[in-house]
Amino acid sequence: MQKIIHRYKGKGFKMTPQRLAILTFLEGNKTHPTAEEIFSEIKKAHPTVSFATVYNTVEALCKRGEVAEVTIDPERKHFDPDPSPHHHVMCTNCRKIGDIFKDYSATLNLPDKVRREFTITGNHVDFYGICKDCGK
């Protein structure tokens, strides 16, 4: 927790107990939680926290590049405290999301027609499947 406080010190990010709770929950979190999931977790220790506070804090962290938005799930936005570029894989049954730290975008072979018409500046590659638990 001291580590988190130190990291945000003097960076124009006002630290409140609720914000600290959100940051602590997200630190090293690999579950790609939704805003609702973060909210229900923070509420346990901070019963007065509002959903708007949680949502606005997470959005502010996204804008600062501390947290990444994960768009693999068409139904709900998820958040990832690891903003480094990586791909995601989602179980289509339980919606569990995993990380893939291998760059597949480099293997994309775009047709010449596209390359002539566009200068490519980015891409987005997601994977879908059935996780081990659901496949049993």
Q: Footprint of Zn ion on this chain (CB under 5 A)?
A: 80, 91, 93-94, 96, 99, 131, 134
Residues 6+ apart with CB under 8 A from 38: 22, 25, 26, 54, 58, 79
Residue 80 Cβ vs Zn ion, minimum distance, rounded to whole Å: 4
Q: Which is nearer to Zn ion, 15 or 134 (CB)?
A: 134
Q: Which is nearer to Zn ion, 94 or 120 (CB)?
A: 94
Q: Which is nearer to Zn ion, 33 or 57 (CB)?
A: 33
Residue 35 Cβ vs Zn ion, minimum distance, rounded to whole Å: 16
Residue 49 Cβ vs Zn ion, minimum distance, rounded to whole Å: 25
CA-nearest of 96, 93, 85, 91 to 30 is 96
What is d(CA 103, CA 41) in angstroms, rounded to the nearest whole number? 32
Q: Which is nearer to Zn ion, 46 or 87 (CB)?
A: 87
Residue 115 Cβ vs Zn ion, minimum distance, rounded to whole Å: 29
Contact (Cβ atoms closer than 8 angstroms) between residue 53 and residue 18 = yes
Question: Within 13 Å, how many C-alpha atoms sit on residue 78's CB side?
Answer: 22
